[in-house]
Amino acid sequence: MDNRLKEFEKGHESFQKVKFKKSEERFKKLVEEGQNPKALFIGCSDSRVMPALITGSKPGDLFIVRNIGNFVAPFKPDADFHATASAIEYAVSILGITDIIVCGHSDCGAISALYKDIETTPENIHTIKWLELGSEAKRVAQAACVSESKENLLRYTEKLSVVFQLENLLTYPAVKKGVENETIFLHGWHYDIKNGHIKYYDDENFEFKALTQK
């Protein structure tokens, strides 16, 4: 084992001896019965955001998709490779998931990159293209935050982006049909890394509110 990954080896050993043993029956049941997750969680690949940790979920609870910026590309009916799209389709059409969470977060590198002049190179061509999915949120945020600080602008853009990704979800036929039939429910979250709080998007009042009340 590479010494650079020694801590992961030790962590896995601890998992086998403690956590797996503690939940062995649950894992066995998940194998025998298959997965039946409670929600599809679309989050950012940021290493500081751990879906299971911030939601207190157990193995089998969340069907998780992670990518740069927790973006959702609009539905595109072609035969190309669409990783996030295929996961959405699988979650809805095969697993029958009824709740979809799009979770953005504070200090998001993808959102911050929207405000930087980054030259496209062979090494980042896919990343630059992917960041286009945040351009609309940037445009609206800039118009609304003319006199705001850079930090407030970024936080607002992060939240707006979540809302736009929810709109992109509605371009998927199965998702749109489920929402219209009230068999699928969409949720927009914003997780603050500094304080651990999650806010949800209230689409009736067009604002983010605390997910839990202290």
| Burial 195-209, CB ≥16 within 10 A → b, else e | eeebbbbeeeeeebe
3 inside domain: no
pLDDT, residue 2, reads: 67
pLDDT, residue 146, reads: 85
Structure tokens at 114: 């929207």
pLDDT, residue 147, reads: 83
pTM for the whole structure = 0.94
Report how far residue 208's alpha carbon sits from residue 19's, in angstroms, rounded to the nearest whole number. 35
53 inside domain: yes
pLDDT, residue 1, reads: 56
11 inside domain: no
C-alpha radius of gyration, the chain, whole number:
19
Domain count, the chain: 1
pLDDT, residue 127, reads: 97
pLDDT, residue 214, reads: 58
8 inside domain: no
116 inside domain: yes
112 inside domain: yes
Q: What is the CATH number of the domain that holds 76?
A: 3.40.1050.10
Reading the chain (214 residues) residue by residue, the pLDDT tens digits are 567 899 999 999 999 999 999 899 999 999 999 999 999 999 999 999 999 999 999 999 999 999 999 999 999 999 899 999 999 999 999 999 999 999 999 999 999 999 999 999 999 999 999 999 999 999 999 999 988 899 999 999 999 999 999 999 999 999 999 999 999 999 999 999 999 999 999 999 999 999 987 5
15 inside domain: no
Report how far residue 68's alpha carbon sits from residue 137's, in angstroms, rounded to the nearest whole number. 15
Report how far residue 135's alpha carbon sits from residue 110's, in angstroms, rounded to the nearest whole number. 11
**Domain range holding 147?**
37-210
Contacts of 203 (CB under 8 A, 6+ apart): 188
4 inside domain: no
Question: What does DSSP assign to residue 192?
Answer: -
